[in-house]
Amino acid sequence: MTDFGVTEEGFVLKPFDVLLQEAVDRVKAVLGVDLSSVDRSGKDSPIDLTSTSPVRKLLEVAAFEDAELWKQMEDLYYANFVSTVLGDALDLLGEDVGVARRNLFSAGTVRFTLAGAAPGRGYIVPEGTIVTTATTPPLAFATTAAARLSATVTTADVGIAAVERGHDHDLAAGAIIVIDPAWQTVYLGDFAPATLKVTNPEPTGGGGDTESDQVYRGRLSGIARSIWTLDSVRQAVLDVDGVLDVATSDPLGGVDVSQSYFGQFDFDQRIFNSERHIGEPYFFDVLVAHDFRWPWRTPAPVPGQITPTVTGVYERVSAAVDRVRPVGVHANIVEADHIDVGVRAKVTVETGYDTAALLAAILQRLATEIGGPQLGGVIRYSQVMCAFAEQSGVVDVQQLHLRRLPPAFGRITFGAVPQQSGVVEAAVGENLVLGPTEVAVFRPDSLLVDVAMVVR
């Protein structure tokens, strides 16, 4: 006999054919029919149970309803586990541990307008420029791409995304009219005597939507169940908006009590072979990779103007760690090295294909696959080759090189330290290995991308 329902292997669903046969057997049992002398079709039975009989149709309808009930019971069973739950039931499990489903970031487009530009000069409004509303308090957005302006190109439209979550940032057209003064002083001060204005020609939206089940499930699966370990620190930092990835380092084991050597050192007296002074704090490292939409440090206040609108990632990560750290244990927060990566290749395309659209599709896939928010790791040559070769219309890919900028940082050596400058280009077939403190950043419009499209 097959066990149905809750078993050691999980929930086993009872299928429709089993339910129908059980219903047929119950009818025969009620009528007092010897089941051993009647075949499955109902032959020799005092009641017609063949596939076209009315009684058989009624049994099929009842069995179908029972099958749907079994499906509901299966959903209820798996709704008790984070790895299998869906929808509203996932929200209930999140409420049990105090982790709510988050809203998304409102997004839209702004238009920069340059006036008084010097002839022959180019002006760049960098990615991550903070633009706000004129309300109090202001609602801040950051650009997701760079805008290039000049005396001949005086307007440029770029995408923006809110720096805070929620539907409050879903604004009407024309609501964004201010470039953050602190940001402009630090990064756009050399525009003078030219002036720069901004507005959003269309409304912003999407802030009222919530994160998907997949993203929310990942947050719940990785939640730390203890108050003070490296996992709880990592969770607190990853919950900060703008943080892409985090790595923690605690070589002495003073933070993570799950380590086998925890408790074997007298931290209040000696640390290995060095004396520790009374009252000396204990430090561990937190390496943070962040999105360029959020500045690493909060810009300094502009004299005579309002304070900066956006708080830096460093300050917000420090505040998040302070909420979970014990007294005397402090975090040394370090910014990860953001490495621009790119490719150089010659691609042969079949006649009749739109080379511009094909190149855009290739670069979009590369941005998704190799520009991920992961510290360290390897950008594999084979993975990049597949991004090219698997596109419809691509006939051949030659001279494919992976590139990075800046080059690998200096190592401790004896004698003279070699100087590195310019773009590092790996040989054909060679992977691009990132250091443990590096995170890859791939931009389709980067100068490191040099792809020649040749029509066969």
Q: Which of 112-121, 205-214, 284-293, 303-312 is the least confident region?
A: 303-312
Which secondary structure element, helix H or strand E, spans residue 64, and what is its range? helix 54-78
Tokens of 136: 């109090």
Residue 327 pLDDT grade (very low, low, confident, very high; cuts 50, 70, 90): confident
Cα distances (angstroms) measured from residue 440 to each of 143, 244, 377: 20, 11, 9
Residue 376 pLDDT grade (very low, low, confident, very high; cuts 50, 70, 90): confident
Higher pLDDT: 279 or 425? It is 425
Higher pLDDT: 282 or 84? It is 84
Q: What percent of the chain has pLDDT over 90?
A: 32
| Centroid of chain to Cα 442 | 15
Q: If you average pLDDT over every residue of the chain, what do you get?
A: 82
Residue 161 pLDDT grade (very low, low, confident, very high; cuts 50, 70, 90): very high
**What pLDDT was estimated at residue 211?**
92
Instruction: Please say whether the beta carbons of 229 and 188 come within 8 A.
Output: no
**What pLDDT was estimated at residue 272?**
40
Higher pLDDT: 348 or 49? It is 348
**What pLDDT was estimated at residue 209?**
93
Instruction: Please say whether the beta carbons of 187 and 123 come within 8 A.
Output: no
Tens of pLDDT, residues 222-271:
777 666 677 788 888 988 998 988 888 765 555 544 444 444 545 444 44
Burial of 368 (0-12, 13-18, 19+ CB in 10 A): exposed
**What pLDDT was estimated at residue 328?**
74
Higher pLDDT: 217 or 267? It is 217
Q: Is the pLDDT of residue 67 over 80?
A: yes
Q: What percent of the chain has pLDDT over 70?
A: 83
Residue 210: beta bridge partners? 103
Residue 434 pLDDT grade (very low, low, confident, very high; cuts 50, 70, 90): confident
Residue 181 pLDDT grade (very low, low, confident, very high; cuts 50, 70, 90): confident
The residue extents of the domains of the chain are: 5-78, 105-199, 224-335, 338-455
Q: Is the pLDDT of residue 144 over 50?
A: yes
- Which ranges in 222-312 belong to alpha helices (H)? 230-238
User: Average pLDDT, stretch 167-189?
Assistant: 87
User: Average pLDDT, stretch 182-208?
Assistant: 86
**What pLDDT was estimated at residue 416?**
46
Tens of pLDDT, residues 84-139:
888 888 998 888 888 889 999 999 999 999 998 888 888 989 888 999 999 888 99
**What pLDDT was estimated at residue 372?**
63
Tens of pLDDT, residues 386-428:
999 999 899 999 999 999 887 654 443 444 444 445 688 889 9
**What pLDDT was estimated at residue 323?**
85
Q: Which residues neighbour 37 within 8 Å (Cβ) at sequence distance 6 or greater?
A: 44
**What pLDDT was estimated at residue 415?**
44
Tokens of 236: 């607190």
Strands (E), 166-309: 176-179, 195-199, 243-249, 270-271, 274-275, 282-290
Tens of pLDDT, residues 11-66:
889 999 899 888 888 887 887 665 454 555 555 556 777 777 888 888 999 999 99
User: Average pLDDT, stretch 436-451?
Assistant: 86
